[in-house]
Structure 1
Amino acid sequence: MKKFWNWKNQAQTENSPAERTLFLNGTIAEESWFDDDVTPQLFKDELNAGEGDITVWINSPGGDCVAAAQIYNMLSNYKGKVTVKIDGIAASAASVIAMAGKEVLMSPVSMLMIHNPMTIAMGDHAEMQKAIDMLAEVKESIINAYVLKTGLSRAKLSHLMDSETWMNANKAVELGFADGTLTRDNGGAENSNMEDAVEAVMFSSRAVNNALQNKISAKYGKQKQTVVQQSEIPAPETNERNVDALLERLDIIKNHI
């Protein structure tokens, strides 16, 4: 079985427990986790194999939300302090796991991304509705983790997920998803206030797509009208439609589906 997690310094000394480090890299639950009793138990056994505080390094694009939920619960219920450090990306399901940290720190060049859960479904309208209802419940469960960490309203978090929101370290700190940024001083990692050095940036793929669509519609719709006015010649009949007409047609089709 290919594992997406790896432990370092699991063993304890006679005098004190070792500093435990957990690395979560790559896709979460690449092979199995859903409807599987072996993989979750293996992770839990390794988590509880030692004592003391844990540092969790995350660099993952996400994956199975069921696996993420179980890992989140296991880390949240761990007796020692859990510190999460994001050194690359914590996206999708990985962002949920990150919320289990008592303290969440991000590299100044790392990113955090949240979005709506997704699935693949097949069947008639009843089966499709079941899938829609299931995704709605999964989204609410994910929002629970974000609310506990950030203190943001459910409506705000829902909007951020709808828009597929990407945040740099400072924006994540500003919104409460992280507690600080990482620097390398004397060989170690620690909190640092980077607000003066790095601008807080948030990116929404949906907002960009909508803005691009509006620009295309405005540009080509206006261009066609200008040509007609300058030439004062009626446009020849054609089967082509400008972007405004196509968008209007799509809206009519959507309303009748």
Structure 2
Amino acid sequence: MSRKFWNWVKNEDDTRTLYLEGAIAEETWYGDEITPKQFKSELFNGNGDITIWINSPGGDVFCASQIYNMLMDYKGKVTVKIDGIAASAASVIAMAGEEVLISPTGLIMIHNPMTMAFGDTEEMQKAIAMLSEVKESIINAYEIKTGLSRVKLSNFMDSETWFNAKKAVELGFADNILFSEQNKDSVESQAITFSNMAITNSLLSKFKSTIIKDVGTPYEVLNKRLDLLKY
């Protein structure tokens, strides 16, 4: 079972708050029956409106997809508040919010999914095809929330695009800026820099902890590849 990356808090008014912090499903989610069931059980263990605070660099794309679907299916109002960063897979989860609010200093980042592939040219082509389909599934979530064209969203992902609070609201990834009533004129666009090294290190760390030999049935090889899929 993966280390728990979420924490539920019950508030005095019977609403609940979910904190998503750090890497999403840092160790495993795909193929693990316990972790998804535990998250779902905790989500549906109560009712009423929920607030989700997100500060995460991303992680497991399948985990993000399942959490997104669970939240979309939840009967109460889901409010997302991005207080730090909602990057990569975490940005997909954020799109499940009926209302998405972002801190004046918050950031959203979207990019193409990535994985590690092993084998001959046929295996590499399969990996490329898989990544293309995963990308299309991610665009679905962005398109529903923002109303932007798939071409524009695809270009944003190709370029690994970062959005500050104002840009996120302008493009529809967020609905409003936190504390904006108190600080209407204080939010400035922020210049940011980012290195792919953070994502590369994350993949390498995952690779080091997983000894993979490209042997076995095609199903086994596929499972190994899916386990390395990152977004």
Structure 2 residue 122 is the aligned partner of structure 1 residue 126 = yes
Higher relative contact order (CA 8 A, sep 6+): 2
Which residue identity lines up with residue 187 of structure 2 in the other structure? V
Which residue identity lines up with residue 124 of structure 2 in the other structure? M
Question: Could you say which residue in structure 2 is the equivalent of 1:197?
Answer: 186
- Give TM-score, length-normalised by structure 1: 0.71
| Change beyond 3 A, Cα 1:199–1:59 | same
| Change beyond 3 A, Cα 1:68–1:3 | same
In 1, the alpha carbon distance for the partners of 2:68 and 2:142 equals 12
User: Which 4+ stretches in 1 moved above 2 angstroms?
Assistant: 191-206
Match of 2:17, SS? strand
| Change beyond 3 A, Cα 1:7–1:180 | same
| Identity fraction in percent | 67
Structure 2 residue 96 is the aligned partner of structure 1 residue 95 = no
In 2, the alpha carbon distance for the partners of 1:202 and 1:92 equals 19
- Superposed CA RMSD in Å reads 2.0
| Change beyond 3 A, Cα 1:163–1:204 | farther
Deviations 1:26-50 (A, max 9, x none): 0000122111111100000000000
- The alpha-carbon deviation at position 193 of structure 1 amounts to 8.7
Alignment length (residue pairs): 194
Structure label with greater radius of gyration: 1
Which residue identity lines up with residue 198 of structure 1 in the other structure? V
- The alpha-carbon deviation at position 21 of structure 1 amounts to 0.3
| Change beyond 3 A, Cα 1:72–1:205 | same
Question: Could you say which residue in structure 2 is the equivalent of 1:7?
Answer: 8
Alignment of structure 1 residues 165-180 onto 2, 5 Å = 165-180=161-176
Residue in structure 1 matching 2:68, options 72, 90, 113 = 72
Structure 2 residue 133 is the aligned partner of structure 1 residue 137 = yes
Unaligned runs of 5+ in 2: 196-231
Match of 2:79, SS? strand
Which residue identity lines up with residue 197 of structure 1 in the other structure? S
In 2, the alpha carbon distance for the partners of 1:203 and 1:138 equals 27
| Change beyond 3 A, Cα 1:86–1:20 | same
| Change beyond 3 A, Cα 1:119–1:52 | same
Deviations 1:124-178 (A, max 9, x none): 0000000000000000000000000000000000000000001111100000000
In 1, the alpha carbon distance for the partners of 2:46 and 2:97 equals 18
In 2, the alpha carbon distance for the partners of 1:97 and 1:195 equals 27
Contact 1:167 1:202 in 2 (8 A): no
| Change beyond 3 A, Cα 1:203–1:148 | farther
| Change beyond 3 A, Cα 1:173–1:194 | farther
Question: Could you say which residue in structure 1 is the equivalent of 2:82?
Answer: 86
Structure 2 residue 20 is the aligned partner of structure 1 residue 29 = no
Contact 1:173 1:180 in 2 (8 A): yes
Question: Could you say which residue in structure 2 is the equivalent of 1:63?
Answer: 59
Alignment of structure 1 residues 40-59 onto 2, 5 Å = 40-59=36-55
Structure 2 residue 152 is the aligned partner of structure 1 residue 151 = no
Which residue identity lines up with residue 146 of structure 2 in the other structure? T
| Change beyond 3 A, Cα 1:109–1:202 | same
Question: Could you say which residue in structure 1 is the equivalent of 2:210?
Answer: none
Unaligned runs of 5+ in 1: 184-190, 207-257
